Amino acid sequence: MRLLRAAGRVAVPWKNGGGVTREIAASPEGAPMDAFDWRISLAEVADDGPFSAFPAVDRTLTVVEGRGMELTVGGERLVVDERFVPRDFPGDRATEGRLLGGPVVNFNVMHNRDRAVVMTSVVRGRLPVVVPDRSVVVAVALRGTTVLEAMSPGAGRVTLERYDAAVLDGHAVVLATDGDAALVTIRLREA
C-alpha cells in the first residue's frame, strides 16, 4: 500500500489555464497531460468556462465542495449538482462549465479509453476491498476520516484524512469511513 498525503500536493494550472489542479496519482507516474493512461486529481473551479479537451479520454467528475456545475458536453446538458455522486462524460468532446453558485472542488478521474478501464465509486461505512488481478485500486478520503486495515493479521492499518489517498496493488483491505471515500479501480488493457 502506497500512501499519498494531501499536504504535499502542488497546485498546477490547468492545460487551458482556466483553473488549478492537484494531482493525486497518475500512470505512468509523472506522465505529461497528453500521455497518461489514467490520472486522478482535485480540480478547483472558480469561474465559468471551457474544459480542456483530451483526445481518447473519458472523464468522471465528482463534486466534493460547492454547489456544483452545469456542463454542456458536445451540445448536451449535464447537471452535476449532487456532492459525492460520480458523473461520466467523454473528455474529447467540447465541454463548457457553468458554476451553480460559487466555486467548486471536483474529484476528477481521467483515463485513456484505449489503454485502461476505470470505475469510480463513492462509498460510505465499512466495506471489504479486494484488488482484482492486473488492477490497482486508489482509495481517497473525500470527507471525514477513512481507515484501511489489511485483512492479513498483523499487516497494518492506515488512516486517511481528507484528500489523503492510498494506492492498493494486490492488497485486500477493509475500508471504514465516517464520511465519504472514493474507490477508483483501474485495469490497464493488454497491448
Instruction: Write out pLDDT tens, residues 120-168.
Output: 999 999 999 999 888 999 999 999 999 999 887 666 889 999 999 999 9
Reported confidence tier of residue 58, pLDDT bands at 50, 70, 90: very high
d(CA 139, CA 161): 11
Provide the pLDDT for residue 32: 82
39-52 b/e (C-beta count within 10 Å ≥ 16 → b): bbbbbbbeeeeebb
CB-CB contact of 131 with 173 (8 Å): no
Residues 120 and 158 reside in one and the same domain: yes
Residues 138 and 163 reside in one and the same domain: yes
State which of 78, 112, 146 marks the end of a domain.
112
Average pLDDT (29-51) is 91
Q: Which of 40-44, 59-63, 149-153, 159-163 has the lowest mean pLDDT?
A: 149-153
Q: Which domain holds residue 164?
A: 116-188
CATH number at residue 132: 2.60.120.10
Note the pLDDT tens digit of each residue in 91-128.
Answer: 999 999 999 999 999 999 999 999 999 999 999 999 99
Provide the pLDDT for residue 1: 86
| pTM of the entire predicted model | 0.93
